A and B are shown apart, each in its own frame.
Chain A
Amino acid sequence: MIKDTRDRSLATVARHRLYRLRHDPTPIIAFVLVVALTYLVLGPLLALLSEGFRVQFRDAARLNSTKGSLTTYYLQRVFSSPVSTSMFWQPLQRTLVMSLVTLTGSVLLGFILAWILVRTDCPGSDFFSKMMILPYIAPSWTFALAWITLFKNRRIAGSMGIMETLGYSPPDWLAYGFFPITVTLIFSLFPLSFLLFGSSLQSVDVQLEESARMVGARKEVVLRTIVMPMLLPALMSSGLLIISRTIGSFGTPYLLGSPVRYTLLSTSLYGAVQRGEQGLASILTLVIVLIGMAVVSIDIFFVKEARRFVTVSGKGSFQNRQKLGILKVPAVIFLIVVLLLSTVLPMATLLLSTVSIRMGIFSLDNFTLDYWIGTSISQLAGISGILRNPDVIRSAWNSVRIVSVVSVIAGGIGTFIGYVSVRYSRSKVAGYLKQLSFLPYIIPTIGFGAAYLTLFAVRRGPIPSLYGTMALIILAMSIKYLPFAARAGTAAMMQLGTEPEEAAMISGAPWRQRFFKIVVPILKKTLITGIVLPFISGMKELTLVIFLATPGIELMTTQVLRYIDYGYTQLANAVTVVIIFVIMILTLLLQKVTGSGITSGLRGN
């Protein structure tokens, strides 16, 4: 036996601990993640609370109080004051009604499409399935932009849309407000429910249906009693997701609502921020955040409840494809109409408008490339076409720089969260990181942007004010996209497990070697997806950055908005076309490289 002459002093213990950390820095990574994410995720919410219930400098004199003392003034102003109705209650009511209508429309459309394409023998289902995802890839306000281009009228916009040029003056209700906002939102959101219903329908196990047939149920009964109940989770999820997106979206209501003062919650918040009413804006943001959280909590509850619907085997239900018979022709026509309205028409409108001197006139002498490559366009106060325009080039460069950094940061943090979660699976740290990284998902985008503005508008302790810097945009985007990155990272790491790394550990590889020579190469594909997806989302992000991009650092998306404000519709459309083009190329590349597509970033079981 071995003699026990070992040193057991505290110093020795500490020395051994340090030695272990050098050998395996996972605890350090976990610590840094916990601290940084706590600040970046919970910080903004706390800042909202603090600003919303404290007297702001500008109101100190009026309230006869000192800056920073506790107050419910802003709360009262939002909920019960002369301005409450126009600033809060009416926008709230409109937002809720609009969410419900959008929800109904998108879910119906998505469901019908999914049913036709997955469950029937409709021809061309592959082609149509791919095309139906396009509206999901385009920025959500693309439709609003196309709508304006088509339907805007002189009375409100001061210039003619294509319809008016063609001789039909669209009434206000058709050009602006509730109707167009709802329609365009439906067209940008139905792919979500299409994808969710489609994958649920595909994963319904044929054997479940077949056994129902064996015990004597007719086809119709099987559909009603076996298949439909299994779609409940998809229904709940897509519905709630759509509500959350509608509440959080800014571009569409701004483009189509603001010209006629049709205010929704998001645009009301925008107004408050524009007017510099920080306290008020904080309360409004809190309300939006709370509604968003409530909606997603309901979703989580139902998804949990619906676990029993989850089917393991995905044998594909192609054998059970319904024969359309004489309905085949109407079905195909329906698909083509949807495709035309959701993809072809908006894209064509945008594209055509950028090569027409006056929109809506289709003749050769009306053709121009000025909006792309012209210099000093006379109609536009001497501005150059977008490919030669220093403002556009600068904003494009900003977008690319910012979004590149965001992709790397989001992808990186996601990977590390996955790494720590798997190494410390079942521990409190893993659980905390998981919940923390999920939180940004349930905060509506507009509220998230506003909360970041609030947190970083002033210096807080050692952390300087970041307002007006790229760093702020980068931080906000990285954290907002974190849920997707973290989920991808965790899933990949879970699948990999710890054993390949441990095998390397035993072979004597230090941590850097293990991480970069074993873990990263094996997960290459997933990591590429984790980096490209934030890039794509970032390129088309408008809502999140609307409060964060200052005139000094325009992004392509905010540049679009700026041009709309100036009435330069063609330039706005051209920039949008470029954004869509870049996104499409990236999506295709991603599909080529990884064999998976944009849809893998979606939620789903």
Chain B
Amino acid sequence: MAEIHIRNLVKKFQGNVTAVDSLSLSIADGEFVSFLGPSGCGKTTTLRMLAGLEEPTSGEILLDDHVLFSSSTGEYTPPEKRGMGLVFQSYALWPHMTVWENIRFGLIQQKVPKEEQQERIKAVIKLLQIEGLEKRYSFQISGGQQQRVALARMLALRPNTLLLDEPLSNLDAQLRIEMRSELKRLHERLRNTTIFVTHDQLEAMTLSTRIAVMRDGKLQQYGTPMEIYRKPANLFVAKFVGSPPVNIITEELAPQLFASAQKHLGRRAAHARKIAFRPESMVINPPTDADDRRWHMKGSVAAILPTGPEWILQIESESVLLFARMDTEPKFSTGDNCTISIESEAMLMFDEAEARLD
């Protein structure tokens, strides 16, 4: 059991940097939660507070019914008593110890009996497929292998919660995809509560049961990947997930488009200041094929970018450039005129404060 509750967590650094600003969220046992956000939004700081390496300025952290930290009572559980495992972004393998010794060190600290140490080390080495590296030092193995050792070192301690700080960011593209699926398999097998920090929306989308999107230390939205994608709480979240990015039209950018979209959406859109839609929601037809039941607009094809499985089209309409995505080969060439139509449900509206309107 490892259920985590974070309440009103605040972390201020010297010089009045508020790295984390009244963060509250709960994580159920066995979940795989991603903290997603741009660099500097306070993900690492939150993770370090969970691990006990950083003292929050205020707030509470509970693990099941243990108080890990509480600013009101001064209660604090030191890292080693929390039973959590943290994998650093830099891996932080101890350079003066071999792979085997790196894994064994924590077991010695936990006073695990000798025979059991051996068993556990062998088990994690097998689990992470790093057999044969036992006697090597960290500088003698590749980045991907270091990553596995760092994971093995924590898993050997059977942590109740696994904290991963951008574990994939130092790997090359190929390896990153491999490790991503490996992490998912590991989680499915071990079922540890896992918190995964990343600034890569695709990683968060593919791995998580729930995603916490952060910005400037504040929680923007906490939900399943599909909620985040389909029902972003605000424009920031909408822009942060999805690639190519969501298309946005405003009154200033494209007055005619905006007015017609607003009209089509009816009364709901009265307070909308920005309207957004995802590239895959755009249906592109020859100019004559207008579909009157949907909202549609005229445009021309500015560029066609085939990626292999799909085609990204850049469409120009009223001098704004929009991204569209098609999974069949487009019958257009650059410069052709076209009609774009979009389902009303796929259109997202945001108010003055950039919060989404329902």
Contacts and interface: CB of A to CB of B under 8 A. Distances in A.
A518 B94 contact: yes
B78 A426 contact: no
Contact of A6 (B51, B73, B95, B105): B73
Given A507-B105, A507-B109, A508-B110, A16 B76 contact: yes
Contacts of B93: 500, 503
A126 interface: no
B85 A13 contact: no
Contacts of A23: 78
Given A426-B14, A426-B15, A502-B92, A8 B73 contact: yes
B67 interface: yes
A599 interface: no
Interface string B325-344: 00000000000000000000
A16 B94 contact: no
B94 A506 contact: no
Contact of A506 (B62, B65, B72, B84): B84
A19 B77 CA distance: 9
B74 A16 contact: yes
Contacts of B70: 6
B96 interface: yes
A350 to B, nearest CB: 43
Nearest to B106: A507
A499 B94 contact: no
Contacts of A518: 94
A12 B74 contact: yes
A290 interface: no
A521 interface: yes
A513 B106 CA distance: 11
A60 interface: no
B153 A6 contact: no
B74 A13 contact: yes
B315 interface: no
A19 B62 CA distance: 19
A504 B105 contact: yes
A509 interface: yes
Interface in B72-88: 72-76, 78-82, 84-86, 88
A505 interface: yes
Q: Which has the most chain A C-beta neighbours within 10 Å: B51, B85, B94, B150?
A: B94
B86 A16 contact: no
B3 to A, nearest CB: 10
Given A13-B73, A521-B96, A505 B62 contact: no
A497 B90 contact: yes
Interface string B39-78: 0000000000001110000000010010100101111101
B75 A24 contact: no
A22 to B, nearest CB: 9
Contacts of B96: 521-522, 524
A500 B94 contact: yes
B78 A24 contact: yes
A141 to B, nearest CB: 41
A2 interface: yes
B153 A503 contact: yes
A23 B82 CA distance: 13
Contacts of B76: 16, 19-20
Given A426-B14, A504-B105, A518-B94, A8 B80 contact: no
B139 interface: no
B80 A426 contact: no
A503 B62 contact: no
A2 B67 CA distance: 10
A499 B44 CA distance: 12
Given A426-B14, A499-B90, A522-B95, A505 B80 contact: yes
A394 to B, nearest CB: 41
B122 interface: no
Contacts of B75: 6, 12, 16
B53 A502 contact: yes
Contact of B13 (A2, A20, A426, A507): A426
B90 to A, nearest CB: 6
Contacts of B84: 506
A506 B73 contact: no
Contacts of A13: 73-74
Contacts of B15: 426
A305 interface: no
Nearest to B78: A23
Nearest to A425: B14
Nearest to A500: B92
A17 interface: yes
A12 B71 CA distance: 12
Nearest to B81: A508
Interface string A234-251: 000000000000000000
B284 interface: no
B73 A12 contact: yes
B187 to A, nearest CB: 19
A2 B5 contact: yes
B79 A505 contact: yes
B86 A502 contact: yes
Contacts of B125: none
Interface in A1-23: 1-2, 6-8, 12-14, 16-17, 19-20, 23
A2 B61 CA distance: 12
B278 to A, nearest CB: 37
Interface in B84-118: 84-86, 88, 90, 92-96, 105-106, 109-110
Contacts of B94: 500, 503-504, 518, 522
Contact of A20 (B65, B78, B110): B78
B265 to A, nearest CB: 40
B168 interface: no
Interface in B150-184: 150, 153-154, 157
B7 to A, nearest CB: 10
A503 B48 CA distance: 11
A427 interface: yes
Interface in A247-300: none
B79 A506 contact: yes
Interface string B1-39: 000010000000111000000000000000000000000
Contacts of A507: 80, 105-106, 109-110, 153, 157
Contacts of B67: 6
B226 to A, nearest CB: 27
A386 to B, nearest CB: 43
B106 A508 contact: yes
Interface in B183-203: none
Nearest to A499: B92
A493 B81 CA distance: 26
Contacts of A510: 80, 109
A306 to B, nearest CB: 27
A343 B329 CA distance: 81
A8 B105 contact: no
B56 to A, nearest CB: 13
Given A7-B73, A502-B51, 8 more contacts: A1-B5, A2-B5, A6-B67, A13-B73, A20-B76, A505-B52, A509-B105, A518-B94
8 nearest CB pairs, A to B: A507-B106, A13-B74, A508-B80, A499-B92, A508-B109, A16-B74, A23-B78, A521-B96
11 contacts: A2-B5, A6-B70, A6-B73, A13-B74, A16-B74, A502-B86, A506-B82, A506-B86, A508-B109, A518-B94, A521-B96
